[in-house]
Amino acid sequence: MLFSESLKKNSDFRNVYENGRSFADKYLVMYVWKNNMNVNRLGISASKKVGNSVVRHKFARLVRESYRLHENIFNSGLDIVVVARKSAASAGYAEIERALLHLSKLHHMIKIYFYDEDN
């Protein structure tokens, strides 16, 4: 991840859970909190209810990759925690990517680009 770091400390996760806003869809729950830094910090969480370690790690890789590919359109200065729902175990890359971008739009985290049609 070029512009981002990983969220690793339990206290940081708890801070985002307690103070951040959350939106959810079929596959993901996303919590977002401003971190007053110039970088985003991404945390990924999947409980044992989602599946065994292979399934949970696959989910984490899919989220990390979909975030990495679209990282340049996200606003900076945010702590983001993505939590897997049980249905995420059977989801493929396209569903996870679509869910991540949809929840990002709900959180107003995506930069808006205006193009001049005359130029």
Collapsing DSSP to helix, strand or coil, 45 comes out as strand
Specify burial of residue 72 (Cβ count, 10 A radius: 0-12, 13-18, 19+): exposed
Q: Which residue has the higher pLDDT, 73 or 44?
A: 44
Nearest CA among 113, 33, 34 for reference residue 73:
113
Average pLDDT, the chain: 88
CA distances from 6 to 41, 55, 107 (A): 5, 20, 19
Q: Residues 75-87: pLDDT tens digits?
A: 888 899 999 999 9
Q: What is the pLDDT of residue 53?
A: 95
Rg from Cα positions in the chain: 14
pLDDT tens sequence across 97-107: 999 999 998 88
Beta strands in 19-114 (DSSP E): 21-24, 28-34, 40-45, 78-84
What are the structural domains of the chain?
4-106 (3.30.230.10)
Give the per-residue pLDDT at 1: 57
**Residue 4 corresponds to which amino acid?**
S
Q: Are strands 28-34 and 21-24 parallel, antiparallel or unpaired?
A: antiparallel
